[in-house]
């Protein structure tokens, strides 16, 4: 299959109409959102949804997020809309928050991997919403990477993973946020944060009161444990080389990596530190700017294999604010290997 790349200059561009037609008719398209690129298909069409799982090599038991362009669509997709859902939607939509509610029958069971719940989000990227409107149907969309790889934050990342496997890619520039949406379930009492993102636990609590952070956000799952969010049990965001998080001062980080062969070693460090380390480095923002770290993280993780390093040592983010999301993604990339120095 030839994968077409379009770069519309506005939401009214004829290419938006074109991909809307492709999607309505059962095709799959890589689309920009403010978090990461998504791989979209008509959420009401089980055959189209199947193509997403095939193109990504995604395990069948990992449910998808349904993307909408208008808050009213939530009533068709879900069985009931609790007051807390409306409060969250009013506070954070359009934006990087996914809400899990009871699924209505118009959403095929395969979208939710057989669960009776459905994850919903209204993205804020203008092209994403224009594409949903143009398709005229809600769009199921996981991140547009090959399963297990870091999520894509540019159209090129999508192309690298999925060229030849999908109908088209819409290039909407680099994603602003850089990590996937915050996922909260309102199907449990109290509500449960399943995946951290730009919208922080503190922001959620301000709007709906008590929110529990799932153990799997920062902890390693025990073998065979039941997971609230199937996506959390898979190896994720992983380059081929060995990723290790190093927690401690910059001086001790430097001393630690000096023990390894320079040729095989690289570092992901904070801005300004690269000149002081004697190995190849990628930077992921200022130490006190978790937004910058979130923005750069996946691009860095995609680049490291090109350096041919065996070991990549990463400075440990603070975990504050959106830093919780950065830490959550890094822990998975490192398969929970953290060294204290």
**Closer CB to ligand TXA, residue 139 or residue 269?**
139
Closest approach, Cβ 94 to ligand TXA, in A, equals: 11
Residue 121, binding choice from ligand TXA, Mg ion, none, Cβ under 5 to 8 Å by partner class? ligand TXA
Dihedral sign for Cα 200, 206, 207, 211, please: positive
Q: In what order do the strands lie in the sheet with 280-283?
A: 280-283, 265-269, 311-315, 242-247, 338-340
The residue number whose beta carbon is nearest to ligand TXA equals: 231
H or E element that contains 195: strand 192-195
Q: Which two tokens stand for residue 13?
A: 């561009």
Q: CA-CA distance, 152 to 158, in Å (whole number)?
A: 6
**Closer CB to Mg ion, residue 143 or residue 328?**
143
Q: Which two tokens stand for residue 254?
A: 């430097």
Q: CA-CA distance, 221 to 332, in Å (whole number)?
A: 11
Closest approach, Cβ 157 to Mg ion, in A, equals: 12
The residue number whose beta carbon is nearest to Mg ion equals: 143
**Closer CB to Mg ion, residue 98 or residue 143?**
143
φ/ψ (deg, to 5) at 323: -60, -25
Closest approach, Cβ 255 to ligand TXA, in A, equals: 37
Closest approach, Cβ 180 to ligand TXA, in A, equals: 3
Is residue 150 helix, strand or coil?
coil
H or E element that contains 157: helix 155-162
Closest approach, Cβ 108 to ligand TXA, in A, equals: 13
3-state secondary structure 272-340: CCHHHCCCEEEECCCCCCHHHHHHHHHHHHHHHHHHCCCEEEEECCCCCCCHHHHHHHHHHHCCCCEEE
Residue 48, binding choice from ligand TXA, Mg ion, none, Cβ under 5 to 8 Å by partner class? none
Residue 45, binding choice from Mg ion, ligand TXA, none, Cβ under 5 to 8 Å by partner class? none
Closest approach, Cβ 237 to Mg ion, in A, equals: 9
**Residue that the structure tokens 């009931």 belong to:** 80
**Closer CB to Mg ion, residue 45 or residue 143?**
143
Helices of type H across 67-154: 74-77, 83-92, 126-135
Query: Binding segment for Mg ion among 142-150, 164-172, 237-245, 261-269 (CB under 5 A)?
Result: 142-150
Using rule CB under 5 A, residue 181 touches Mg ion: no
**Closer CB to ligand TXA, residue 36 or residue 314?**
36
Closest approach, Cβ 162 to ligand TXA, in A, equals: 13
Using rule CB under 5 A, residue 143 touches Mg ion: yes
**Closer CB to Mg ion, residue 15 or residue 299?**
299
**Closer CB to ligand TXA, residue 36 or residue 169?**
36
Site residues, ligand TXA (CB under 6 A): 33, 35-36, 38, 62-65, 96, 98, 100, 112, 115, 117-119, 121, 141-143, 180-181, 183, 194-195, 229-232
Dihedral sign for Cα 116, 121, 127, 130, please: positive
Binding residues (CB under 5 A) for Mg ion: these are: 143
């Amino acid at each position: 299959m030839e994968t077409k790349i379009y770069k519309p200059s506005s939401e009214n561009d004829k290419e938006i109409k074109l991909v809307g037609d492709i999607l309505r008719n059962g095709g799959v398209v890589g689309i920009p959102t403010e978090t990461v690129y998504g791989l979209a298909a008509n959420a009401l069409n089980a055959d189209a949804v199947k193509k997403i799982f095939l193109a990504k090599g995604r395990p069948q038991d990992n449910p998808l997020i349904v993307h909408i362009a208008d808050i009213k669509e939530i009533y068709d997709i879900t069985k009931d809309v609790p007051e807390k859902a409306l409060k969250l939607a009013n506070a954070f939509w359009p934006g990087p928050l996914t809400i899990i509610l009871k699924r209505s029958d118009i959403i095929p069971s395969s979208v939710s991997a057989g669960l009776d719940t459905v994850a919903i989000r209204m993205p804020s990227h203008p092209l994403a919403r224009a594409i949903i409107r143009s398709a005229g149907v809600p769009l199921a969309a996981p991140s547009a990477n090959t399963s297990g790889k870091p999520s894509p934050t540019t159209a090129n990342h999508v192309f690298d993973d999925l060229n030849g496997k999908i109908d088209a890619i819409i290039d909407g520039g680099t994603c602003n946020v850089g990590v996937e949406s915050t996922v909260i379930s309102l199907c449990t009492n109290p509500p449960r944060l399943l995946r951290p993102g730009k919208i922080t636990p503190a922001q959620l609590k301000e709007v709906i009161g008590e929110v529990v952070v799932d153990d799997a956000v920062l902890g390693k799952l025990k073998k065979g444990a039941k997971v609230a969010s199937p996506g959390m049990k898979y190896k994720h965001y992983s380059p081929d080389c060995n990723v290790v998080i190093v927690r401690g001062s910059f001086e001790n980080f430097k001393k630690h990596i000096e023990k390894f062969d320079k040729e095989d070693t690289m570092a992901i460090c904070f801005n300004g530190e690269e000149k002081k380390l004697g190995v190849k480095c990628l930077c992921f923002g200022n130490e006190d700017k978790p937004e910058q770290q979130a923005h750069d993280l996946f691009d860095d993780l995609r680049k490291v294999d090109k350096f041919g390093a065996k070991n990549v040592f990463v400075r440990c983010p603070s975990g504050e604010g959106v830093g919780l999301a950065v830490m959550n993604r890094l822990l998975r990339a490192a398969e929970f290997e953290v060294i204290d120095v």
